[in-house]
Structure 1
């Protein structure tokens, strides 16, 4: 129950129903706040407990200074959690392990359930192996089940074993599109109380739901687990950027053009770590589908969230997608009562302002390697030619994903793995990394390039297809044309536009070029329903855009292999070929290892480029191809009018379509239901599984926590420099055969081609520990001259160089605790849960850094690792620390008295001594640390009830 210091508890009557609410107008200053901060203010009012969330926190938020630098920390309690399968599996593994621990402590395992609704959508595992065939969807799903059966059996068990945990099975849709079409409530109702729908998600593009007026963003797995277990997420009150919209989009432009323009503007302005909020009269002219498209791209322009207030357009969309009449009435009544309904004329207090006249937006694409690098479509050919030399020059090499710091992985059927996609793998705290700058073009090693008469690099290769067709392949060839990802496939205007363009192209006798891999991967089944109803599916099929799956596919790197003859020509002739996709990310090395240059485009332009077959064409003025009569066909000839698109949307998309698609969304198909699933409250762990294993977090745990102990005789596992990110710490990408993780899999009978990725094996702590600190770009100063997961093992005389994992095992066997020394911004970038989990399981008791990224610092505490900070102005270097010392840390035991010491004493066996600042910043964090971690704290709390 809320402490209700502001007497905000009240009642809202909607029809025959009465709801308890917490009134914002009871707090002075609330009316001037931006929409997003009003949502946070209600959250604090409702969850005020007098300890972690106090009246002072509420006053700090209501008295928010728009111009101030964020410094006030608050505790945000999201209403629900959403996950995808890559990042959701370890969360479910931890819940299953907690049940085992409760059982061992004499409690009822059935009491371990998410305390906030948790929904997981399986959308990251389908790969576009098969394309351009009527049975592509069926065959790809069969391959998906074959590869992921162990993981799916586990999730199927979780679906039946846990309350408040629901799983949307494979072949249904993409998490964010399913969220806005069905899962989002906009206003939640639980136990008779109504409040704003808020969430955190284990995928960076959770922000798509911001288009519905729902505040949420991507987080790491530990934050998601905390939220599931009813614990708040620590955050700073952010700066809020007001983005004013005026005017209307001109004819011939799409939502994709709009979002690429906004991405360019916001990335240039700088919105990392901030909220972006759209306001102004132009908001009413932005359809809900376009709002969702903009919200989805929040990680690409760097903001934490990118939100639209609730208005009549929100209600219209909720009605279309099948929400109940009572829910519609509640959303409208609640939003108006709480001042959360859009006032187009209002000018809330904002930290910064931008403005865009929608009428100035022009057709655009973005590339060849970053979403913010927008190119006007009319300039695309010129810009491609300007960029091409960067990808064919001598000495440019590829095949490596520099974000993960490991080579592109090997998978069955020659597929590339996705770059891990959690917000856990997102960029809210830092700029998107430049994939392969200088060293990585995303393909094979390069040699000197030939040139055409006009100086353009050229190296044409003759290719013979399996059917005997011969063609010429050169730099710029479009090797992949993919309608993919939640970003655009949720938007019926651009999807219908693509299908109508395909229809007009087929009617003119046009086809895709034979070297183009064409795929269609919608975000929900509703898309194929309205395609079928409009009679447009056959035209897409005719151009090779057959349905390949309902999943992220190409946008996360699950593009599947290129046809063998195309791949061979690309690699043998060092060709810089391209991909055009309707996705949100186009970083080098991400889409396909054979493809160097990647362009984001609207679905209609994806179809157009599949017909043109090359980026070396100005599709605004040059013909795409010749028709069956030998006449040139231009893009303008087959571009559907706005009226044509709107007529199809109006006549084919209705509420019953969504009702049908989502009527039994959690049930799954026959293949899902036929999976053999263990029964019972606890999971029957398979000792032979290399995907899902019981982690050791609760081994030896008692019902009461042991007193906090000082640290004595610790050795340094790693001494690191500045800006060490969670990408450096947490395992991602490929698993190399000669690493501890690769050796583990080999020892367990896994063939190298079946290693899969760290992402797919996140439910197996044995694999993940072995990959922690193993990024090939990590430089551990204890082991100079090495790069990668190496340290020195001082349990052996002379301290020889060793794998970090192997050394940690020796230290733990000898009972020697470990510490990590680091520089500034330790743990910056994404907030992967395994960056903290792996650190703890390697035996690290404390990290001493110059400064921390906020979320990783919190995650360390959540895993029982103590974050300490060097004294102001001091560093490991200035203190003369080499990493070869033995460390002792005293004063930690003061935590046993209920408080948190400001500093602790650090001494070494070489005589260095200093007072380290204790970075346990909230009472809740102190409780987590005293219990050995957040999961232990929650488990013991539940046992006491």
Structure 2
């Protein structure tokens, strides 16, 4: 610590002395009283890491004198205190680290140079799938299948836990990474022994999942990054960023009776997405904070990726301390958090000075109404009273290509399946199919809810909505209601604590009475691990080409994400998930229509089974205590007998074998000690031309692997039976599988083709329509570089490094879009793919580009240029010339790009140190 501003000081807490970088001392030189809380954390980070090279007095002064209205233009180097990973993104991180150990040895270094310097904690939460449901044995069945499917991955992670220092793994069947982070891993104030001195500083975190922002709810600054950026942080490399603008969100008033935190967060998401906060920090303040429990704050913070912000943070206050106490943190840690926050001017109470913000939004909590979001974006909020109309508004567009079946007769008993019946047969209308299942015959229709899932860290972390769901179930069961037979119901708690308080209140049994059983401890349906629908339901949907629905308490409902057969997906609070399972359809107004008929023959309405706020408060007060947290997290890294029985190799270098799960990636093949030069791109072809809102769900391999897909054909060639394909997410450690699934989403639309959905493109020289992977292979054999063109908000969604890795491995040299989501643009840079944007008002369509042209991108000047010239040459020789913005935003990013990516940069630095 260079300490140009003489801010080093000593803090006394718990009878111990801690060194810290004092903002109070700095405040004698600069006016920091109205600096936003989040920028104070960034400022402290710079003060503590000042070295005159990566961090200089100039950057420190830039934050201290922050101009709220100025466009971001000052680069800073931010170093998080720790990194959290989930297993889908974490496995490829560990694969890359293992590959770097091999590579650094080849460059003359030592394998143990590749070792996390910052604490890294991985939570296995993405692997459990809802195969079994609706019974008390569902959990055990799904866990057994999970371990069977993932033996190779889990063996690799157990090797990593032994081979790397500063790396811990939270085994399966424990919880969801962000909820485990909130309930146990987060320190709020970090301590570290550096050179014999004990330092205290804010807990900050990078996560390989975009919903890492959930931890902002307790005053910890953190956000999602790509796996490659997380790996760099683990290896001691700071992350370059621009000092952000900060949007203040003022909360006043109090939520009304019957309104949940989910309703609030969907309202906040819609407001902030409308304002436009991509690349900005959002900070919540105002008198309404005193009415928001920590769990509600975490729910709002969790959804920051959905409203587009880098983070959505709440300050440290008494409510944060109350939660630390409730969740079993030590008295010493709580005392340190309070002492540190107050010493640094980071403590919030009613006497706190209101910060200055770039702009401010305000919401009276009393105006929030019950809501859902859908049918395909989390920002598309729909009032509960308007869901039925929303369904009618969209269903027509989803069924325009349906072929009506007329004159067929029903065939139930022999096949146990479903048959679509046309208008003339048995008076069943188009959009309706008769289904026989488990001895029952019923009609499956457009709008039928076939999946109802209480899932996702967003809401399963919140006792109010979880116990609220249990109370809805209890009242419904008392009236004789249960989920409709065509609904696949599930609960995936975010931690073992949730199960404890549901069981303690007796509400778990009530949920089971209406059809909701625990299926696993993980993300499940929220990330597309919804598992197969029953064969009868799946067949009925296909035969009738039905537009069916899911209702889930998740944070994402993008097209094709929840289930490939489900076209409409709505986000809702857990109590509403139960309600829609009981109703079985979106074609109902729950605010006035009967949800069903009770055992007494009388109609039952939602208002009859909805709990009061007092009932929920009483349930919380009587069921949750610190002992629950202490018990469930006492041996959190130990795992059960299944985990500990998995065999794993020893040694600093991983012994790669012919696994279809874990493979040494090709990123470092042929790598030299010195970087090459950034060359202009000549003779490129378009791999795809896409429209607006192409998400990382569209780009990155996700969900199930079809046997006739390039990835499926590859696995079959390796002797893998289709029943053992598992998911793309589980195979993220094998680039051969993943590159074949890039851009393979069944809902993606390549505008080079006329109305074709799915991962296809045109191989321009031959005129063939091919799978995108097959076309890329053909272009590679021809020595042709590739580009991708797209519209606005390209790469919105989860922080999936494979959306960038797969793009690179397909041979794409540049992506030209109208605008990028922050994380994906950063990931492209980190993999050595050039991100560019069209000039304002331009896109492929306005420029008359079809994607059949040949492209030259020139004027890059070794990556230093802020603009480049693109010449598109058509088959007839005519040319169109236009200028694009080169989105290498900082000197550090340009350096990464020159090296071919972040990992190559780090590897050369470490190998160079060894050689020296």
How high is the TM-score relative to the length of structure 2? 0.86
Kept after mapping to 2: 8 A contact 1:392/1:446: no
* Distance in 2, Cα, partners of 1:297 & 1:682: 39
More displaced, 726-735 or 519-528?
Answer: 726-735
> Where do residues 605-624 of structure 1 align in structure 2 (5 Å cutoff)?
605-624=576-595
Unmatched segments (≥5 aa) in structure 2: 405-417
> Where do residues 226-245 of structure 1 align in structure 2 (5 Å cutoff)?
226-245=232-251
1:94-113 CA-to-partner distances (Å, cap 9, x unmatched) read 01111222334454323321
> Where do residues 498-537 of structure 1 align in structure 2 (5 Å cutoff)?
498-537=469-508
1:613-642 CA-to-partner distances (Å, cap 9, x unmatched) read 333334344443343333443333333332
Map of 2:2 onto structure 1: 3
Q: Shift in Å at residue 529 of structure 1?
A: 0.9
Q: Structure 2 vs 1, CA of residues 634 and 508 (structure 1 numbering), >3 Å: closer, same or farther? A: same
> Where do residues 268-417 of structure 1 align in structure 2 (5 Å cutoff)?
268-344=274-350, 346-377=353-384, 379-380=385-386, 382-384=388-390, 386-387=392-393, 389-390=395-396, 393-395=399-401
More displaced, 103-112 or 241-250?
Answer: 103-112
More displaced, 500-509 or 171-180?
Answer: 500-509
How large is the RMSD of aligned CA atoms in angstroms? 4.1
Q: Shift in Å at residue 318 of structure 1?
A: 0.6
Say if 2:760 is the partner of 1:766: no
Map of 1:406 onto structure 2: none
Unmatched segments (≥5 aa) in structure 1: 399-443
Q: Shift in Å at residue 11 of structure 1?
A: 1.6
* Distance in 2, Cα, partners of 1:771 & 1:493: 39
Q: Please state whether the residue corresponding to 1:769 is helix, strand or coil.
A: helix
Say if 2:608 is the partner of 1:637: yes
* Distance in 1, Cα, partners of 2:557 & 2:144: 28
Q: Shift in Å at residue 840 of structure 1?
A: 4.4
* Distance in 1, Cα, partners of 2:321 & 2:780: 58
Map of 1:141 onto structure 2: 143
Say if 2:519 is the partner of 1:548: yes
Kept after mapping to 2: 8 A contact 1:519/1:548: yes
Map of 2:802 onto structure 1: 834
More displaced, 586-595 or 690-699?
Answer: 586-595
From 891, 904, 909, give the equivalent of 1:936. 904
* Distance in 1, Cα, partners of 2:588 & 2:755: 50
> Where do residues 776-795 of structure 1 align in structure 2 (5 Å cutoff)?
none
Q: Structure 2 vs 1, CA of residues 781 and 483 (structure 1 numbering), >3 Å: closer, same or farther? A: closer
Q: Shift in Å at residue 452 of structure 1?
A: 14
> Where do residues 401-800 of structure 1 align in structure 2 (5 Å cutoff)?
460-466=432-438, 468-687=439-658, 689-701=659-671, 704-705=673-674, 708-709=676-677, 711=679, 715-718=683-686, 727=696, 730-733=700-703, 735=705, 740-772=710-742
Q: Structure 2 vs 1, CA of residues 542 and 664 (structure 1 numbering), >3 Å: closer, same or farther? A: same
Q: Shift in Å at residue 561 of structure 1?
A: 2.6
Q: Please state whether the residue corresponding to 1:155 is helix, strand or coil.
A: helix
Q: Structure 2 vs 1, CA of residues 759 and 396 (structure 1 numbering), >3 Å: closer, same or farther? A: farther
Q: Please state whether the residue corresponding to 1:217 is helix, strand or coil.
A: strand
Q: Structure 2 vs 1, CA of residues 529 and 554 (structure 1 numbering), >3 Å: closer, same or farther? A: same
Kept after mapping to 1: 8 A contact 2:739/2:773: yes
Q: Structure 2 vs 1, CA of residues 930 and 387 (structure 1 numbering), >3 Å: closer, same or farther? A: closer
From 91, 94, 108, give the equivalent of 2:93. 91
* Distance in 2, Cα, partners of 1:465 & 1:907: 59
Q: Please state whether the residue corresponding to 2:76 is helix, strand or coil.
A: strand
> Where do residues 246-265 of structure 1 align in structure 2 (5 Å cutoff)?
246-265=252-271
Q: Structure 2 vs 1, CA of residues 623 and 162 (structure 1 numbering), >3 Å: closer, same or farther? A: same
Map of 2:157 onto structure 1: 155
Q: Structure 2 vs 1, CA of residues 749 and 637 (structure 1 numbering), >3 Å: closer, same or farther? A: same
* Distance in 2, Cα, partners of 1:388 & 1:207: 32
* Distance in 1, Cα, partners of 2:9 & 2:208: 34
* Distance in 2, Cα, partners of 1:575 & 1:826: 30
Tell me the matched-pair count: 882
> Where do residues 870-881 of structure 1 align in structure 2 (5 Å cutoff)?
none
* Distance in 1, Cα, partners of 2:602 & 2:768: 73
Q: Structure 2 vs 1, CA of residues 315 and 449 (structure 1 numbering), >3 Å: closer, same or farther? A: farther
Q: Structure 2 vs 1, CA of residues 227 and 717 (structure 1 numbering), >3 Å: closer, same or farther? A: farther
* Distance in 2, Cα, partners of 1:458 & 1:799: 38
More displaced, 337-346 or 879-888?
Answer: 879-888
1:552-604 CA-to-partner distances (Å, cap 9, x unmatched) read 11222222233333333343344443322222223343323343333322222
Q: Structure 2 vs 1, CA of residues 737 and 281 (structure 1 numbering), >3 Å: closer, same or farther? A: same
Q: Structure 2 vs 1, CA of residues 926 and 3 (structure 1 numbering), >3 Å: closer, same or farther? A: farther
Map of 1:23 onto structure 2: 22
Q: Structure 2 vs 1, CA of residues 277 and 680 (structure 1 numbering), >3 Å: closer, same or farther? A: same
* Distance in 1, Cα, partners of 2:277 & 2:227: 24
1:230-273 CA-to-partner distances (Å, cap 9, x unmatched) read 21222222222211111122222221222222223223333233
How high is the TM-score relative to the length of structure 1? 0.83
Q: Shift in Å at residue 528 of structure 1?
A: 0.9
* Distance in 2, Cα, partners of 1:92 & 1:903: 36
Q: Shift in Å at residue 844 of structure 1?
A: 6.2
> Where do residues 37-56 of structure 1 align in structure 2 (5 Å cutoff)?
37-56=39-58
Q: Shift in Å at residue 180 of structure 1?
A: 0.5
Map of 1:185 onto structure 2: 187
* Distance in 1, Cα, partners of 2:680 & 2:255: 65
Q: Structure 2 vs 1, CA of residues 368 and 838 (structure 1 numbering), >3 Å: closer, same or farther? A: closer
Q: Shift in Å at residue 940 of structure 1?
A: 3.6
Q: Shift in Å at residue 848 of structure 1?
A: 8.4
